[in-house]
A and B are shown apart, each in its own frame.
Chain A
Amino acid sequence: MQDEKLSSAAAVAAPSAEAEEPAICARGVCLSFGGGTVAVLSDLDLTVARGEKVALTGPSGSGKTSLLAVVSGLLRPDSGTVRTCSLPVETMNEDELAKMRRDKIGIVFQHFHLMESMTALENVMLPLELAGREDAEEKARESLSSVGMARRVGHFPSQLSGGERQRVAIARAFAPGPELLLADEPTGNLDFDTGKEILDVLFSLAEGGEQTIFFITHNHELLPRFGRVCALRGGRLETR
């Protein structure tokens, strides 16, 4: 299963244009809940170039998480087109979307979401195993030591603090070497100092310009670290 090629839909994407194509390209995205009663995104356009590091801010309930979910293919918009990592998200089926996440995207959540039944090492190995990588353990160890968790590989999430859990989650997101890293308030559940540490870790990993980062945060002190800051208001994006 791990050797399956990406979908036919993905293959259709013009390969020649790929180098120049942005990591995220959303056009005219509309999204609503409750059968149209709660409009969240209305005619939204978003372009994030490859290697760009973009912060997304906005008041609670403005639809930031929803936008991230649309970009990662976890939520289907009512209308509009979304291309993530050069793939036509809105035309792909569940399994194709799952493979896209596996091969191209890393996500970090506010609530960590580690597997409780797995050790830190196994948690980081999981996406690599899902991708059928032979070097899963080696890569996972590397990734864990790059977030400073080399000495906690054998511990279960319940034995780790919040900051440590988030480090493992970051290691998990980075281990397969995703093209795009999505983060939804990854410091929201941590105290200020720990949050800063976590960001340092994140940015040190993303250094070198290869990785695209799309990052939701409330914390204004962090914004200077990003190349661009977008704000979501009234269902549309404003760039600052």
Chain B
Amino acid sequence: MSPARFVVRAEMRGKKELFALAAAAMGFATAVLALVLSLADSFERSFADSARELLGGDVSIRLSQRDFSEEEIEWLRANSAGFSQMRAARMLASGKNGARIARLKTADDSYPLFGKATVKGGGDVLAVIGGGAEDGIYPAVVSEGLLAQLSLALGDVFSVGGMTVSAAALIATEPDPDPTLILNDVLVLVHEKHFLAAGIVRPGLLISRYARVQLPPETGEEEWRARLEERFPDGGWRVRGINRALPRLQNIVEDAREFLALAALTAMLIAGVGIGGAMSAFLSSRLRAIAVVKMLGGSARLIRIIYLFMAVFVVGAGALAGVVFGQAALLFAAPKLSEHLPLTLTAIWSWGALGKAMLLAFLISAVFVLPPVMHYARANPLALFSGGARADDLPGLRAGERLLVAGVAAAAVVLVPLEGDDKIFVLGAAAAAGTLFLLSHLAAGLAGKFAKKAPPPFSWGLLAVSRNRRQAAASAMSLGIGLAALAAISNVEGNFNEVVEGALRDEIPAMFMIGVLPNQVEGLREMLSEADAEANMRAVPIVRGRITHLAGKPVSEYDPPQEFAWILRGDRGFTWSENDDFVGENSRIVEGEMWGGDDNGQLLASFDAEAAEAFGLEVGDAVQINILGKPATATVANLRLIQWERFDINFVVVLSRPPFANVPHGYFAAVRGISEQAARRAQREMGERFANVTPIVSGEVVDAAQKMLAKIAALLRAVTLLLLSGAIPVVIAALAESRHRRLRDSVAMRLVGTPASGVTLAALTELACTALVCVLPAVLFGMAGGWFVIGAIFDLPWNARAGEAAALIAQAVAFFLVLGGISVFRIVRSPPYPLLRND
């Protein structure tokens, strides 16, 4: 047996509860990280496996507002192994019991190119919707959600966008779900021939046309897309390949992965602090043993090997259990998640993800375990001649040792499974933890200053706090991240709700209407003023298209910051106005001038000032847009600084007149001055009189947003509570590290005749004060975070919400007192004799 193993075997007999706790915390964090990473990998694999089904083809081409031309369709057919067309639109579905926005989708006879579209009870979708129409009623396949929302039953007749359909069957599998995922559960699927026969397609309606192709054999996607681009350079469409089959969900998965990985890493950080604390507490109790081994001829290196081996054992056990648990959770969760997803999620064994989680657990633990091990390995056997050894006498770490720790930390950061930008958050979390450490250290030092002014039992407690600053600060660091997050979440949520309840509900127009046809504007205005005399409707023309060139440069050559990228990415609405309708309180011209009447028919544009700055666009530059396949070029006449958060109708680009004569367009309208009830009544009436119009009642949207916000806050809280539960071992470790000292102090106090109450009081003072020192800076930190989000990022009025913060502080302090109080109680009751006997 090697000497190291001989010593380790004996040392493992000691108390391991603390290690077990810390290892459990690390194991838990590892489990979460392993789960998150391998879940993301499983998603990626599952996406890849069913990408063609989800997309509806190898390549999907989308057009808005115009149909594919004969020429285009001919080319697409000729250049593919399979071809299918589909239309999708959001339209009002109204039945005898109510009206709802539905997702209307049409399928042709080749639908679907990949996968199977089936109805409940068996059978093919096409077999149902391809049947004949009776008395102008067309067969439709619908989703359960739609029937529920309209209170209809299978077989009932309702209208969607002016087309009368019967709910002929329920959808069982839809291989190509709504790419936005928003209206997935309100499907109305009809056959293309019926949709066209119903005659509801009119210019100005918002309908997306999709052409899906199966690539010819031996043809790569890149190559094919290049050929398409070459043949139809002005197609004005958006092309998606299989790597972006379901971009919305893929983005959600990616964002969730980043967020949850960040949370798991923070939990690891906290667990690391815990393991470091447990190791420190353990080594301080092993100081004499270390000195003895060194006295007998063991080297400092042997000491390091002994205790690092123990750490590896403990962390390894925790991390291994974590990885196993994480993978088990994945295997269990994947089928459950699949039920709620538009694809089958297959759990894979992602060894890379599991290995990474495990490696990070080791590296992060090493960062916190190495310093105490290297520190205590310095124990000097000289101290054995006089009673024992004290940790305070040990010299600090050498430069080389600090470098090693920094190196391990750097390796951990490099390995961190986050996108480059998001790694900043890890550093941010570490910096926040460091700041909390320093703040608490300072606060604990202040407690010492107060000690001189306080009467005896309290002063002892206060003195103890300042003498044990390091432990208090360690607790503050790990508890603090979670507490600060909790405080910030409450603060942000509370402030948001205040804004939503106050300003938002008052300021936002009561109703928006999309897809209004030019000849319907006046009718709608009339109908609304009948519903509520105060109604004030503003309707603006809207045409959909996309920006193709800015200042002569194709938009594909721009790489703007994310917040502006959407403007260049695909279809957007353009409006026009011959006068200054779009200039006002919330939309000021900051550069250039408003157009007058004498522009010689030149097409001018007014551009969003902030976006213009991001693109480097200036007054006088050309903006080329493509509308319905036709290019039009406008000159930027002015830049407007728009306050989007005021909810007035506004557009990034406003033109001085229609881009060309007789451009088919619709209207977008906002209604103010009517109550929510009136808006709902109007919505129902529209289902009958203006079936093609899509009305959105703001109150419903705000309710939904509020619910969403509450859900997000609840999710964040749950994650934070997990973080906090990981911090408990750290606090216990810190309390344990000082327990031995407190025990000796209490024995000494009792020997000189202090009553038990005095001992208890001193200990409780120390605890309460330690708790405050840990909790207060963290909560203030969290409130500052809340201000940053609300005030600085969202530019909304911020409220400190001090009551909430105080309640959080009280809860955290109480938690501390309960945790530490148990040990105080045990100390006060323990008989002093055995302690005195064991030197």
B387 & A111 in contact (Cβ 8 Å cutoff): yes
A118 & B385 in contact (Cβ 8 Å cutoff): no
Residue A205 at the chain B interface, CB threshold 8 Å: no
Specify the chain A residue showing the minimal Cβ separation from B290.
A115
Residues of B within 8 A of A115 (CB): 10, 289, 292-293
What 5 pairs between A and B have smallest CB-CB spacing?
A: A102-B297, A129-B6, A127-B296, A74-B382, A117-B10
Binds A, one of B299-307, B519-527, B776-784: B299-307
Residue from B293, B380, B387 in contact with A74 in the complex, judged by beta carbons closer than 8 Å? B380
Known contacts A2-B2, A122-B10, A131-B297; 12 further A-B pairs (Cβ under 8 A): A74-B380, A74-B381, A95-B300, A98-B297, A98-B298, A111-B839, A113-B291, A117-B11, A125-B6, A126-B292, A130-B298, A132-B3
Provide the bound-state CA to CA distance between A102 and B294, in Å. 9
Residue B398 at the chain A interface, CB threshold 8 Å: no
Name the residue in A65, A100, A111, A184 with the highest tally of chain B Cβ atoms < 10 Å from its Cβ: A111
CB under 8 Å from chain A, chain B span 1-35: 1-3, 6-7, 10-11, 13-14
Specify the chain A residue showing the minimal Cβ separation from B13.
A117
Provide the bound-state CA to CA distance between A68 and B295, in Å. 13
Specify the chain B residue showing the minimal Cβ separation from A119.
B10
A126 & B293 in contact (Cβ 8 Å cutoff): yes
Specify the chain A residue showing the minimal Cβ separation from B380.
A74
Question: Which residues from chain A sit less than 8 Å from chain B, CB to CB?
Answer: 1-2, 65, 68-69, 74-75, 94-95, 98-103, 107, 109-111, 113-118, 122, 125-127, 129-132, 158, 172, 184
Q: Could you tell me the distance in whole angstroms from the C-beta of B519 to the nearest C-beta in chain A?
A: 92
22 contacts between A and B (CB under 8 A): A65-B385, A74-B381, A75-B382, A94-B300, A98-B294, A99-B297, A101-B295, A102-B296, A102-B298, A109-B384, A109-B385, A110-B385, A111-B384, A111-B387, A115-B289, A116-B289, A117-B13, A117-B289, A122-B6, A126-B296, A130-B293, A172-B296
Residues of B within 8 A of A109 (CB): 384-385
Q: Could you tell me the distance in whole angstroms from the C-beta of B836 to the nearest C-beta in chain A?
A: 14
Specify the chain B residue showing the minimal Cβ separation from A107.
B295
Specify the chain A residue showing the minimal Cβ separation from B5.
A129
Provide the bound-state CA to CA distance between A101 and B3, in Å. 16
Provide the bound-state CA to CA distance between A69 and B291, in Å. 14
Residues of B within 8 A of A94 (CB): 299-300
Residues of A within 8 A of B300 (CB): 94-95
Interface flags, B197-210, vs A, CB<8A=1, else 0 = 00000000000000
Provide the bound-state CA to CA distance between A237 and B818, in Å. 60
Interface flags, B379-395, vs A, CB<8A=1, else 0 = 01110111110000000
A-B contact count (CB 8 A): 87
Residue B288 at the chain A interface, CB threshold 8 Å: yes
Residue from B3, B380, B386 in contact with A1 in the complex, judged by beta carbons closer than 8 Å? B3
Provide the bound-state CA to CA distance between A2 and B13, in Å. 24
B297 & A117 in contact (Cβ 8 Å cutoff): no
Provide the bound-state CA to CA distance between A172 and B292, in Å. 11
Provide the bound-state CA to CA distance between A75 and B385, in Å. 11
B299 & A95 in contact (Cβ 8 Å cutoff): yes
Name the residue in B381, B382, B385 with the highest tally of chain A Cβ atoms < 10 Å from its Cβ: B385
A113 & B382 in contact (Cβ 8 Å cutoff): no
Residue B600 at the chain A interface, CB threshold 8 Å: no
Provide the bound-state CA to CA distance between A127 and B380, in Å. 17
Provide the bound-state CA to CA distance between A236 and B297, in Å. 29
Q: Could you tell me the distance in whole angstroms from the C-beta of A89 to the nearest C-beta in chain B?
A: 14
Residue B69 at the chain A interface, CB threshold 8 Å: no
Interface flags, B297-321, vs A, CB<8A=1, else 0 = 1111110000000000000000000
Residues of A within 8 A of B2 (CB): 1-2
A129 & B1 in contact (Cβ 8 Å cutoff): yes
Residue B838 at the chain A interface, CB threshold 8 Å: yes
B385 & A130 in contact (Cβ 8 Å cutoff): no
Interface flags, B40-68, vs A, CB<8A=1, else 0 = 00000000000000000000000000000
B296 & A101 in contact (Cβ 8 Å cutoff): yes
Specify the chain A residue showing the minimal Cβ separation from B14.
A117
Given contacts A102-B296, A107-B295, contact A126 B385 (CB under 8 A): no
Residues of B within 8 A of A117 (CB): 10-11, 13-14, 289
Q: Could you tell me the distance in whole angstroms from the C-beta of A188 to the nearest C-beta in chain B?
A: 11
A126 & B6 in contact (Cβ 8 Å cutoff): yes
Name the residue in B11, B288, B294, B297 with the highest tally of chain A Cβ atoms < 10 Å from its Cβ: B297
Specify the chain A residue showing the minimal Cβ separation from B12.
A117
Specify the chain A residue showing the minimal Cβ separation from B305.
A1
Residue from A95, A101, A131, A132 in contact with B301 in the complex, judged by beta carbons closer than 8 Å? A95
Q: Could you tell me the distance in whole angstroms from the C-beta of B542 to the nearest C-beta in chain A?
A: 79
Residues of B within 8 A of A131 (CB): 297
Specify the chain B residue showing the minimal Cβ separation from A158.
B838
B302 & A1 in contact (Cβ 8 Å cutoff): yes
Residues of B within 8 A of A116 (CB): 289
Specify the chain A residue showing the minimal Cβ separation from B285.
A116
Provide the bound-state CA to CA distance between A132 and B382, in Å. 24
Given contacts A68-B385, A125-B6, contact A103 B299 (CB under 8 A): no
Residues of B within 8 A of A65 (CB): 385-386
Residues of A within 8 A of B14 (CB): 117
Interface flags, B755-773, vs A, CB<8A=1, else 0 = 0000000000000000000
Residues of B within 8 A of A113 (CB): 288, 291-292, 295, 384
Provide the bound-state CA to CA distance between A1 and B300, in Å. 12
A130 & B384 in contact (Cβ 8 Å cutoff): no
A69 & B382 in contact (Cβ 8 Å cutoff): yes
Residues of B within 8 A of A129 (CB): 1, 3, 6-7
Q: Could you tell me the distance in whole angstroms from the C-beta of B317 to the nearest C-beta in chain A?
A: 20
Q: Could you tell me the distance in whole angstroms from the C-beta of B838 to the nearest C-beta in chain A?
A: 7
Provide the bound-state CA to CA distance between A75 and B383, in Å. 10
Provide the bound-state CA to CA distance between A129 and B10, in Å. 13
Specify the chain A residue showing the minimal Cβ separation from B6.
A129
Residues of B within 8 A of A122 (CB): 6, 10
Q: Could you tell me the distance in whole angstroms from the C-beta of A75 to the nearest C-beta in chain B?
A: 6
Provide the bound-state CA to CA distance between A68 and B382, in Å. 10
Specify the chain B residue showing the minimal Cβ separation from A2.
B3
Residues of A within 8 A of B301 (CB): 1, 95
Q: Could you tell me the distance in whole angstroms from the C-beta of B293 to the nearest C-beta in chain A?
A: 7
Given contacts A113-B384, A118-B10, A125-B6, contact A103 B297 (CB under 8 A): yes
Residues of A within 8 A of B295 (CB): 74, 101, 107, 113
Provide the bound-state CA to CA distance between A98 and B293, in Å. 10
Provide the bound-state CA to CA distance between A65 and B381, in Å. 13
Q: Could you tell me the distance in whole angstroms from the C-beta of B757 to the nearest C-beta in chain A?
A: 31
Q: Could you tell me the distance in whole angstroms from the C-beta of B375 to the nearest C-beta in chain A?
A: 16
Residues of A within 8 A of B7 (CB): 126, 129
Specify the chain B residue showing the minimal Cβ separation from A189.
B839
Provide the bound-state CA to CA distance between A95 and B292, in Å. 15
B380 & A130 in contact (Cβ 8 Å cutoff): no
Provide the bound-state CA to CA distance between A65 and B7, in Å. 28
Residue from A111, A125, A127 in contact with B297 in the complex, judged by beta carbons closer than 8 Å? A127
Residues of B within 8 A of A74 (CB): 295, 380-382, 385
Residues of A within 8 A of B294 (CB): 98
Q: Could you tell me the distance in whole angstroms from the C-beta of B294 to the nearest C-beta in chain A?
A: 6
Specify the chain B residue showing the minimal Cβ separation from A101.
B297
Q: Could you tell me the distance in whole angstroms from the C-beta of B4 to the nearest C-beta in chain A?
A: 8
Specify the chain B residue showing the minimal Cβ separation from A105.
B297
Residues of A within 8 A of B292 (CB): 113-115, 126
Provide the bound-state CA to CA distance between A79 and B380, in Å. 21
Interface flags, B278-294, vs A, CB<8A=1, else 0 = 00000000001101111
Provide the bound-state CA to CA distance between A33 and B11, in Å. 35
Q: Could you tell me the distance in whole angstroms from the C-beta of B387 to the nearest C-beta in chain A?
A: 6
Provide the bound-state CA to CA distance between A63 and B510, in Å. 92
Residue from A2, A100, A114, A184 in contact with B385 in the complex, judged by beta carbons closer than 8 Å? A184
Provide the bound-state CA to CA distance between A98 and B384, in Å. 15
Residues of B within 8 A of A102 (CB): 296-298
CB under 8 Å from chain A, chain B span 709-757: none
Provide the bound-state CA to CA distance between A100 and B380, in Å. 16
Specify the chain A residue showing the minimal Cβ separation from B839.
A111
Specify the chain A residue showing the minimal Cβ separation from B298.
A130
Q: Could you tell me the distance in whole angstroms from the C-beta of A191 to the nearest C-beta in chain B?
A: 15
